Amino acid sequence: MFGLLISLGSCSFIPGMQLDRITLPTGFSIALYEDNVPGARTLVFGDKGTLFVGTDKEGKIYAVPAHLGAKDGEGNVFVIAEGLQNPHGIAFRDGALYVAERSRILRFDDIENRLDRPPAPAVVHELGLKYAHHGLRVIHFGPDGKLYVSIGVPCNICMPELDRYGVIIRLNGKGKSEVFARGIRNSVGYDWHPKTHELWFTDNGRDLLGNDVPPDELNHAPSAGMHFGYPYCHAGELPDPVFGLRSHCNDFAAPAQNLGPHVAALGMRFYTGQQFPASYRNRIFIAEHGSWNRSPKSGYKITTVTLAGNRAVNYEPFAEGWLQGNSAWGRPVDVIVAPDGSLLVSDDERGAIYRISYRGF
């Protein structure tokens, strides 16, 4: 259903009561930005500062007007559309909001001027995909103006249909697509370096090889056509027990940085704001959603990767505390740099968005 405006009431959960459990580097603080966004996952800003929020099973797209942010959830949150099929991926360009369902991409024109009467969407592209497993798409416009779409494999480990699954594709706006990167199990976050304009992306490692292998990956794709190993090799050095005899790990691009095992590294962004100290400029922030079958649990935090040129030189926690012992009260999904230079974090477990800011020592 499209064209529906809903004023959401306050949630029974008050994230601010738990936020004192989050630990951050000295000088940083975290606060509630909005708590009326059940299932909040991907984030994108419009030209006028509206924060759009994608979801998964909720089937909704939310819009948080700029004047509502950081007001402890007060006011209305607009529902741009509902009844969609896993509308996870969102992007914004030329006044229009693009939404990726499992198998098609929609466009809502002039959306920031029509939050209270959203238009019916136009269908931009039919992806022709049918599998629900790893069926959440992530979309972003690249520096080349093309719309990139990540497409995970429909399994834990398998030989996916060539150039249809396990890829990042890009659309040229004329209904044509091309494969940009291959050999990717499931990427749920990517961004381009602010200076080099080269693509970096997270990838979730396969399951059922034990608690500690393989790690999730941060990958670097400076050019089109690279293959990152799936299903033959994981983490650049671990041959798959089923498919590993068919190729050697040296045949594929190795990760720029191996992340924690089963941390479910999802959304990632380069920090391009001015609010944080200069040492954070162009650093990668990653939302680690958290493991589902590891014991003990891992992830449930925000981490950073520092680069020296095209080389990752440091991987460390930035915001921790959603995991207490072996029990998690929240699950970070996406991160985005706000217009004021703060960092917003979505949490689909609590239906909330948090704001991390820096005030100095």
Cα–Cα dist 28/147, whole Å: 34
pLDDT at 119: 96
pLDDT > 70 fraction of the chain, expressed in percent and rounded: 93
Binning pLDDT at 50, 70 and 90, where does residue 5 land?
very low
Cα–Cα dist 243/93, whole Å: 41
Average pLDDT over residues 127-155: 97
pLDDT digits (tens, 9 = 90+) for 304-325: 999 999 999 999 999 999 999 9
What global pTM score does this model have? 0.94
Average pLDDT over residues 164-192: 94
Binning pLDDT at 50, 70 and 90, where does residue 174 land?
confident
pLDDT > 90 fraction of the chain, expressed in percent and rounded: 89
pLDDT digits (tens, 9 = 90+) for 251-282: 999 999 999 999 999 999 999 999 999 999 99
pLDDT digits (tens, 9 = 90+) for 28-78: 999 999 999 999 999 999 999 999 999 999 999 999 998 655 444 445 899
Cα–Cα dist 228/43, whole Å: 26
Superfamily name and number for 16-358: TolB, C-terminal domain (2.120.10.30)
Binning pLDDT at 50, 70 and 90, where does residue 12 land?
very low
Binning pLDDT at 50, 70 and 90, where does residue 173 land?
confident
pLDDT digits (tens, 9 = 90+) for 98-122: 999 999 999 999 999 999 999 999 9
pLDDT at 361: 64
Residue spans per domain, the chain: 16-358
Average pLDDT over residues 151-176: 94
